[in-house]
């Protein structure tokens, strides 16, 4: 056997596991990305009145839709890399290139609370795992606002996953929200007020638990962001409810120092005093 042949055999032996891994990851990820999620259609409990103003506040200052879709909700490039792929939040308006005119109430419901497209395929980076509990009333208020938001003419690229994303998806290191949601779970209509129940609801749909953890103990954050600090009772032992309001509205701690810039307090600065008090009740009484 010549030296050249030996080198070729060695190269194949070294490369084969990697090639097999790529094919395995592609097959596993394709099933997760393409296989439709079965969702039972149900009639929304439509309220007697919907509120455009409340819907705007929910979209802007609680759900923080603009964080991904842009301040004008006309779409935004979220991230782009050769290994992970390109991820683009769509244009939500009724303008050219927008999805607003193509979605009916059921379509919005599937996207927001179930994390799937019209064909039942999982949406990428859509935080529906936190919005699965969104009440029918709040959903209808959100839609009342989205139906009337100013049109933006902007064509967005379709998101494409890269090889590393496929591998992390196949190994379970990345989870698709639509695959994690209990799509048949009942939803509660929680009366707004300065209560633990409403605070728990707000902490869920606003993403507090995504970054700070279910136990509020902090730790690694999603998408490679810096680790988040704890916000449980022990961490907030010297805080008062007014301090939480200042943190959410001004981005300042009780001692006057600024919060980490990754904390999206500008989005939450429009929360009402009732919502701030509800979050305080959750953090101080019902949290970790």
Give the pLDDT confidence score for residue 47 in this predicted structure: 72
Give the pLDDT confidence score for residue 30 in this predicted structure: 82
Q: What is the CATH number of domain 196-286?
A: 1.10.760.10
pTM listed for this prediction:
0.88
What does the H/E/C string look like for the chain? CCHHHHHHHHHHHHHHHHHHHHHHHHHHHHHHHHCCCCCCCCCCCCCCCCCHHHHHHHHHHHCCCHHHHCCCCCCEEEEEECCCEEEEECCCCCCCCCCCCCCCHHHHHHHHHHCECCCCCECCCCCHHHHCCCCHHHHHHHHHHHCCCCCCCCCCCCCEECHHHHHHHHHCCCCCHHHHCCCCCCCCCCCCCCCHHHHHHHHHHCCHHHHHCCCCCCECCHHHCCCECCCCCCCCCCCCHHHHHHHHHHCECCCCCECCCCCCHHHHCCCCHHHHHHHHHHHHHHCC
Tens of pLDDT, residues 42-65: 777 677 788 999 999 999 999 999
Split at pLDDT 50, 70, 90, the class of 218 is confident
* Mean pLDDT over each residue of the chain, to the nearest integer: 88
Split at pLDDT 50, 70, 90, the class of 16 is very low
Tens of pLDDT, residues 167-190: 999 898 889 999 999 999 988 889
Domain boundaries, the chain: 52-178, 196-286
**55-59, 140-144, 208-212, 223-227: least confidently modelled range:** 223-227
- Contacts of residue 38, Cβ cutoff 8 Å, sequence gap at least 6: 120, 183
Tens of pLDDT, residues 222-257: 656 678 899 999 999 999 999 999 999 999 999 999
Per the structure block, which two tokens stand in for 99? 């999805």
């Amino acid at each position: 056997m010549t030296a050249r042949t030996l080198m070729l055999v060695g190269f194949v032996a070294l490369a084969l596991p990697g090639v097999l891994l790529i094919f395995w990851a592609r097959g596993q990820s394709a099933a997760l990305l393409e296989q439709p999620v079965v969702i039972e259609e149900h009639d929304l409990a439509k309220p007697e009145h919907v509120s455009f103003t409340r819907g705007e506040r929910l979209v802007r200052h609680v759900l923080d839709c603009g964080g991904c879709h842009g301040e004008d909700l006309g779409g935004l490039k979220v991230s782009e890399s050769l290994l992970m792929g390109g991820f683009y939040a769509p244009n939500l308006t009724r303008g050219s290139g927008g999805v607003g005119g193509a979605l009916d109430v059921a379509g919005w419901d599937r996207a927001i609370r179930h994390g799937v497209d019209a064909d039942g395929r999982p949406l990428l980076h859509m935080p529906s795992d936190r919005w699965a509990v969104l009440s029918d009333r709040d959903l209808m208020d959100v839609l009342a606002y989205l139906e009337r938001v100013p049109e933006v003419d902007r064509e967005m690229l379709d998101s494409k996953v890269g090889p590393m994303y496929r591998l992390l998806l196949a190994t379970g290191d990345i989870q698709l929200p639509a695959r994690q949601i209990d799509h048949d779970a009942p939803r509660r209509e929680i009366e707004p007020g300065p209560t633990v129940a409403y605070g728990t609801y707000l902490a869920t749909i606003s993403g507090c638990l995504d970054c700070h953890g279910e136990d509020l103990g902090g730790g690694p954050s999603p998408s490679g962001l810096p680790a988040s600090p704890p916000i449980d009772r022990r961490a907030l032992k010297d805080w008062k409810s007014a301090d939480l309001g200042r943190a959410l509205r001004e981005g300042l701690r009780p001692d006057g120092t600024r919060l980490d810039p990754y904390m999206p307090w500008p989005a939450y600065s429009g929360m009402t005093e009732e919502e701030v008090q509800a979050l305080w009740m959750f953090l101080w009484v019902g949290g970790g």
